[in-house]
Amino acid sequence: MDSEAATAAETSKKLICKGKILSDDSSLASADISDRSKIMLIASQGLHQGGGPIKKELPTARAAGGFATEKRKTNEETVTKSRLERWKLSGVLALSDCGLTTIPKEAWTCGSSARVLDVSHNSLHEVPAEIGGLTMMKKLLLNSNLLSDTSMAWDELASLKHLIVLSLNQNNLTSVPSALGALTSLKQLDITNNKLVCIPTELGLLTSLEVLKLKNNRLKTIPASIGDCVSLVEIDLSCNLLSELPETFGNLKNLKALCLSNNGLKTLPKTLFRSCIELSTLDLHGTEITIDLLRQFEGWEKFDERRKLKHQKQLDFRVDGSGDFDEGADKNW
């Protein structure tokens, strides 16, 4: 027994007897070890039967860095793949306010699966020709970017025959090409807060257009072809440099709201009230048009009735109850 214990003491890492760890230089006598004494052998971590301790080596800094890079790359690929799959399933490419300077290339791989592309509130300098590949696109939102006339692939954009909504609010556009007329399915067009100085006559080809917003630009004229946009319900031309409107506005039988504030207008198309039988909202703040002038137009009385009916609830709570026209046409100038 003593000889076996001595051999164990020479080869083991730790020997414990009676709750005490025996040091390497301890003798059996000094440790008070006798027959039938119980000795516990504790091996170092990694020691296994038939060999020395197994050492667990830590990766070098270079190896660890490579592993982290590879893992990050894998994660990014997984996220990209997951996002692309989500885009294709939902048809919605939601990239608003993402700090983008270009539209991600994987967006173009969605092809006919894409229905909505929203890249508003970024720093995009261009809409490339690849936009034409999103053949079934219905809604394109490009608001609050850095787009200019030459950075828009208009010909390819015009090939999106299913496009219903096009919004270019708050960019740097000064003009819109004739290619716009090819978007015959368009129902909403918003090019407010730009630097537009003209609108092409091809605007009249947008016969499905219901909402037209051109507020806060530098427009001096509106093409007479606007009268062909017979589906128009709402038009906002506020804050431009308009001095007159074409008489063809009288063709807009479905028009309900017309905002003309802050322009140089002194009169309106003569047939506006008579022909636009749905018109009930007219904003003339900041123009030279007076209420006395409006009362001379044929159809004014019926327009005024529609306007009052629309605001009936508000009129019921007014103290004076006059219901006077207060949309900016002053009695005296």
Residue 12 pLDDT class (50, 70, 90 cuts) = very low
What pLDDT score does 319 carry? 44
Q: Which residue has the higher pLDDT, 60 or 246?
A: 246
Mean of the pLDDT values across residues 126-145? 98
What gap in Å lies between CA 22 and CA 244, rounded to an integer? 107
Output the six-digit token pair for 227. 């009268």
Q: What is the pLDDT of residue 96?
A: 97
Task: Give the separation between CA 178 and CA 154, rounded to whole angstroms.
Answer: 9
- Residue 312: its pLDDT value, please? 79
pLDDT for residue 123: 98
Query: Tell me, what's the pLDDT at 311?
Result: 80
Looking at every residue in the chain, the average pLDDT score rounds to 84
pLDDT tier for residue 66 given thresholds of 50, 70 and 90? low
| Coil/strand/helix, residue 165 | strand
Give the pairing type, strands 116-118 and 92-94. Answer: parallel
Q: pLDDT tens digits for 182-194?
A: 999 999 999 999 9
- pLDDT value of residue 7: 44
pLDDT of residue 326: 59
Calculate the alpha carbon distances from 301 to 250, 258, 259, 307, 323 in Å: 16, 17, 19, 10, 13
How many residues are given for the chain?
A: 333
pLDDT at res. 257: 97
**CA-based torsion, 306, 312, 314, 318: positive or negative:** positive
Least confident of 43-52, 116-125, 307-316, 320-329: 43-52
Q: Identify the residue with better confidence: 81 or 290.
A: 290
**Residues 166-181, mean pLDDT to the nearest whole number:** 97
pLDDT tens digit sequence for 262-287: 999 999 999 999 999 999 999 999 99
Q: How far apart are CA 134 and CA 234, in angstroms?
A: 28
Q: Poorest-confidence range of 64-73, 133-142, 257-266?
A: 64-73
Average pLDDT over residues 225-249: 98
Strands 20-22 and 14-17: antiparallel
What type of residue sits at position 196? L
Q: What is the mean pLDDT of residues 94-110?
A: 96
Q: What pLDDT does residue 40 have?
A: 65
Predicted local confidence at residue 59, as pLDDT: 53
**290-328, pLDDT tens digit by residue?**
999 999 999 999 999 999 998 875 666 564 444 455 566
> Which of the two residues, 306 and 16, has the higher pLDDT score?
306
Structural domains present in the chain? 2-42 (no CATH), 84-316 (3.80.10.10)
Question: Among candidates 227, 229, 224, 230, which has minimal Cα distance to 244?
Answer: 224
